[in-house]
Amino acid sequence: MSMRLPKTVLHNRSANPNFRQSFWGFAWRTIVKKPGRLIGFAIIVLFALMGIFGPYLYPAQLPINPNAIYAPISWQYPLGTDFEGTSNLALVVTGARYVLFAAAMGAVFTVVFGTILGLCAGYFIGLTDSVIMRITDFILTIPSFPLLVVLSTVWNFGQPVAMGFVLGITGWGGLARAVRSQTMSLRERGFIEAARGLGLSPLYILFREILPNVGSYIAMNLLLAVTGSIYAEVGLFFLGVVPFQVNNWGVMLNLAVFSAGAMSSPQALPYLLSPMLAILILTLGIVLFLDALDEMFNPRLREV
Amino acid sequence: MKTVMARLAKRLVAGVIMILVVASFTFLLVRLMPGNPVEAKYQSLLLNGLTPVQAMDEVRVMYGFIPHQSLWIQYLHYLGQILHLNLGQSISYEGTPVMRIILGAAPWTIILVLTGTVASFIVGILAGVIAAIRRNSPVGSAITISGSVLHGIPLFVMALFLAYVFTTIWAVLPFGAPYNAALTPGFNGPFISSLARHALLPVFTYALASYGGWLLTMKSSVISVLGDDFILASEVRGLKTSTRVGYIAHNAILPLFTILALSLGFMFGGSLFIEDIFDYPGLGNLLVNAINNRDYPLMSGAFLLITVAVIASNIITDFLYSVVDPRIRR
């Protein structure tokens, strides 16, 4: 891939008509093509920045204000305050890091497990395939969310990587099955047969010949896995089965519903709505961005 | 019919193996848990003045195995107990058998999940057919957008929203408890209507949460069937539109049965949220409470029963699929 392109090429892009070589430039042009994609991209970038820099914007111990408990929405507290008078906006921004990092890790693990197992099952048909598919069926059948809840009793979910790993372990089934069926149809195609005839190693064929052809599907699944991971982890914290170690959106939801009684007292409602709003806006951004990703990674769409 | 039966038998064997694996998993989970709850219980019973033999018996009844035996013997003992449908005793419910508690809770979950799934399946499929056939009209795109939006909202956000709207702002529907406690349970009018009123909101949440998925899948399935030759042939023959839509729907619905099996797992998983938010006494609520109370025998039992329910419904959907799709019977 041409990611490590010399700087001069990027610099001279107006002068260079053959600009298609640069992946990033191409990606950017794909995004700006439609306003919906741009909005989606902006939302994702905003949330990513929030996850990276959010905790630095506020003091480590968020200020509490006993005079502003459940304060309504105002300039000082754009999203109201919680049961201690802490700004909900600050809570959402500082809580983003855990949620987003864990979701990103979950998506990466899901995609890595699903892709590798799916490619192997589809390419080395026979025994490998049937063993992998047995395991996949098993993973797909076991209700994954209850499994996560049960695992929370032994697994320490305090670290985002640990959370992401478990989300990946329980979530790769669907992707593996889809990648397998695509690989199976690709392996009969001429260019793969040619590669086999040239005596290229199976690893080369799998990762350099077949993988780019399922790339767009995998990239879209990466983003979908991010939303899935966010729902699952926020859900775990919301149910309160995972011990609270750091502030995050799920903890906010849990405290709002089960401690603050936001369901029956309207003044606590902003506390409940702010993490929900964050989740919904991020989901919207990801859904809007999906089709740009399809075009970016689908080699057939790119030629046009 | 013979092949259908062979297929069914194969699925049954696979299901039993899967249940065994899940049972082994919960056994290992409780046994290898940090702080070893079994050993801790044994020690606390000793401190309460029981003799080692009495304490051992107590622990064995509770968890189904004895702490000082080797792991392998414990495991066999545990599996033996499960084969006798004995899942040990609950800790938080003071010595009630786990089996009795989870069997008491299971019907509520199963009723909610099944009603919600069937309702969303029927509505989603009808809407999907309309969205596909009218895909160039405003009605069609409105239906599609409704599907995408509902598909994107997380289950707990939906449940909280509905609970807030219908039990707080506009309190028309009851909250918590599966029926009005003042009524005597039985086959009488007021009891059944109270049951239905209490179930309405959770069922509606289940249905809304999965409606979008059915709609979108059915729509794309119908569109792919529309291009088939036999549709063109029936058009050329001048068949009535309703007959043709029937043909299309029948062919397009087949792939959805495989997804039905997967979605049941999702629905049973969703019961954790829905029952927790609506305070409905089903398996999901039981599982969450068991974990919060560190009631491990009950936790294992509830998880095992949820898995069994999912596996059983998978086998039933697979059987239905082979009945509906004539190609499999051959």
Question: Angle, nearest 10°, between helix axes A269-297 and A23-32?
Answer: 120
Considering the domain boundaries, does residue B129 fall inside one? yes
Considering the domain boundaries, does residue A36 fall inside one? no
Considering the domain boundaries, does residue B212 fall inside one? yes
Considering the domain boundaries, does residue A26 fall inside one? no
pLDDT value at residue A116: 92
Asked whether residue A90 carries a pLDDT value surpassing 50, the answer given is yes
Sign of the alpha-carbon dihedral angle for A135, A139, A140, A141:
positive
Name the band, by pLDDT with cuts 50, 70 and 90, for residue A112: very high
Retrieve residue A68's tokens.
């502003």
- CB contact set of B140 (below 8 Å; sequence gap of 6+): B130, B131, B132, B133, B134
**With an 8 Å Cβ cutoff, are B311 and A239 in contact?**
no
pLDDT value at residue B177: 66
**With an 8 Å Cβ cutoff, are B26 and A150 in contact?**
yes
Q: How far apart are CA A284 and CA A101, in angstroms?
A: 18
pLDDT value at residue B165: 82
Structure confidence by residue, pLDDT tens digits, A157-199: 778 888 889 899 888 888 898 888 888 888 888 888 888 888 8
Quick one: closest CA in A to B169, which residue? A264
Considering the domain boundaries, does residue A2 fall inside one? no
The three state secondary structure string of B166-235 is: HHHHCCCCCCCCCCCCCCCCCCCHHHHHHHHHHHHHHHHHHHHHHHHHHHHHHHHHHHHHHCCHHHHHHH
- Say how many CB pairs under 8 Å bridge A and B: 105
**With an 8 Å Cβ cutoff, are B156 and A283 in contact?**
no
pLDDT value at residue A110: 93
Sign of the alpha-carbon dihedral angle for A62, A68, A72, A74:
negative
Asked whether residue A83 carries a pLDDT value surpassing 90, the answer given is no
Phi and psi at residue A87, in whole multiples of 5°? -65, 130
pLDDT value at residue A109: 93
Asked whether residue A9 carries a pLDDT value surpassing 50, the answer given is no
The verdict on A281 touching B (C-beta cutoff 8 Å) is no
Considering the domain boundaries, does residue B5 fall inside one? no
Q: Which of A174, A157, A169 is nearest to A109 (CA)?
A: A169
Longest dimension (CA), chain A: 77
In this structure, what CATH number is given to the domain that contains residue A251? 1.10.3720.10
DSSP letters along A192-209, please? HHHHHHTT--HHHIIIII
Q: How far apart are CA B301 and CA B287, in angstroms?
A: 9
Structure confidence by residue, pLDDT tens digits, B112-151: 888 888 899 999 998 988 888 887 888 888 888 888 888 8
**With an 8 Å Cβ cutoff, are A141 and B265 in contact?**
yes
Considering the domain boundaries, does residue A253 fall inside one? yes
Considering the domain boundaries, does residue A23 fall inside one? no
Q: Which of A111, A150, A174 is nearest to A236 (CA)?
A: A150
Retrieve residue A50's tokens.
């929030």
Name the band, by pLDDT with cuts 50, 70 and 90, for residue A8: very low
Q: How far apart are CA A5 and CA A20, in angstroms?
A: 12
Q: Which residues pair with B89 in a beta bridge?
A: B97
Instruction: Please report, for chain B, how many H helices and E strands are present, in that order.
Output: 13, 0
Our count of domains for chain B comes to 1
State the average pLDDT for chain A. Answer: 80
State the average pLDDT for chain B. Answer: 81
Residues in chain B: 330
Asked whether residue B90 carries a pLDDT value surpassing 80, the answer given is no
pLDDT value at residue A114: 92
Considering the domain boundaries, does residue A223 fall inside one? yes
Amino acid letter, residue B144: T
Q: How far apart are CA B25 and CA B60, in angstroms?
A: 19
Question: Angle, nearest 10°, between helix axes A269-297 and A211-239?
Answer: 170
- Considering CB atoms only, which of B270, B288, B310 is closest to A141? B310
Residues in chain A: 304
3-state helix, strand, coil in chain A (%, to 5): 75, 0, 25
Considering the domain boundaries, does residue B128 fall inside one? yes
Considering the domain boundaries, does residue A271 fall inside one? yes
Q: How far is CA B79 from the centre of its chain?
A: 24
Q: Which residue range(s) make up the domain with B176?
A: 107-282
Q: For an interface test with B, which of A150, A157, A263, A265 has the most B Cβ atoms less than 10 Å from its Cβ?
A: A150
Considering the domain boundaries, does residue A127 fall inside one? yes
Quick one: closest CA in A to B23, which residue? A142
Phi and psi at residue A81, in whole multiples of 5°? -130, 170
Q: Which residues pair with B97 in a beta bridge?
A: B89
Phi and psi at residue B323, in whole multiples of 5°? -75, -40
Q: Which residues pair with A81 in a beta bridge?
A: A87
Structure confidence by residue, pLDDT tens digits, B213-237: 888 888 888 888 887 888 888 888 8
**Listed ranges A14-18, B117-121, B261-265; the one with the highest mean pLDDT:** B117-121
**With an 8 Å Cβ cutoff, are B18 and A234 in contact?**
no
Asked whether residue B35 carries a pLDDT value surpassing 80, the answer given is no
> Other CB atoms closer than 10 Å to residue B55's CB: what's the count?
20
> Other CB atoms closer than 10 Å to residue A22's CB: what's the count?
18
In this structure, what CATH number is given to the domain that contains residue B152? 1.10.3720.10
DSSP B166: I
Our count of domains for chain A comes to 1
pLDDT value at residue B1: 64
Asked whether residue A220 carries a pLDDT value surpassing 50, the answer given is yes
Considering the domain boundaries, does residue B262 fall inside one? yes
CB-based contact B79:B23 (threshold 8 Å): yes
pLDDT value at residue B330: 56
Q: How far apart are CA B307 and CA A139, in angstroms?
A: 11
Q: How far apart are CA A92 and CA A280, in angstroms?
A: 13
- Considering CB atoms only, which of B33, B154, B268 is closest to A231? B154
Percent of chain B with pLDDT over 90: 0
Considering the domain boundaries, does residue B291 fall inside one? no
pLDDT value at residue A108: 93
Q: What is the pLDDT averaged over residues A38-43? A: 89
Amino acid letter, residue B50: L
Q: How far apart are CA A175 and CA A169, in angstroms?
A: 12
Structure confidence by residue, pLDDT tens digits, B68-83: 677 788 788 888 888 8
> Other CB atoms closer than 10 Å to residue B32's CB: what's the count?
10
Retrieve residue A227's tokens.
């939303």
The three state secondary structure string of B36-90 is: CHHHHHHHHHHHCCCCHHHHHHHHHHHHCCCCCCCHHHHHHHHHHHHHCCCCCEC
Q: How far apart are CA A33 and CA A24, in angstroms?
A: 14
Q: What is the pLDDT averaged over residues B155-172? A: 80
Q: How far apart are CA B175 and CA A59, in angstroms?
A: 40
Q: What is the pLDDT averaged over residues B80-88? A: 79
Sign of the alpha-carbon dihedral angle for B49, B53, B57, B59:
positive
- CB contact set of A11 (below 8 Å; sequence gap of 6+): none
The b-or-e profile of A84-120 (16+ CB within 10 A means b, else e) is ebbbbbbbbbbbbbbbbbbbbbbbbbbbebbbbbbbb
pLDDT value at residue A12: 44
For the ranges A73-77, B18-22, B244-248, B257-261, the lowest mean pLDDT is seen at A73-77
| Distance in Å, alpha carbon of A268 to nearest chain B alpha carbon | 12
Q: How far apart are CA B244 and CA B231, in angstroms?
A: 7
Name the band, by pLDDT with cuts 50, 70 and 90, for residue A17: very low
Asked whether residue A215 carries a pLDDT value surpassing 70, the answer given is yes
The verdict on A140 touching B (C-beta cutoff 8 Å) is yes
Q: Which residue range(s) make up the domain with A274?
A: 45-56+86-301
**With an 8 Å Cβ cutoff, are A231 and B155 in contact?**
yes
Q: What is the pLDDT averaged over residues B282-298? A: 85
**Listed ranges A25-34, A79-88, B52-61, B198-207; the one with the highest mean pLDDT:** B198-207
Name the band, by pLDDT with cuts 50, 70 and 90, for residue A217: confident
Greater confidence (A4 vs A108) lies with A108
Considering the domain boundaries, does residue B81 fall inside one? no
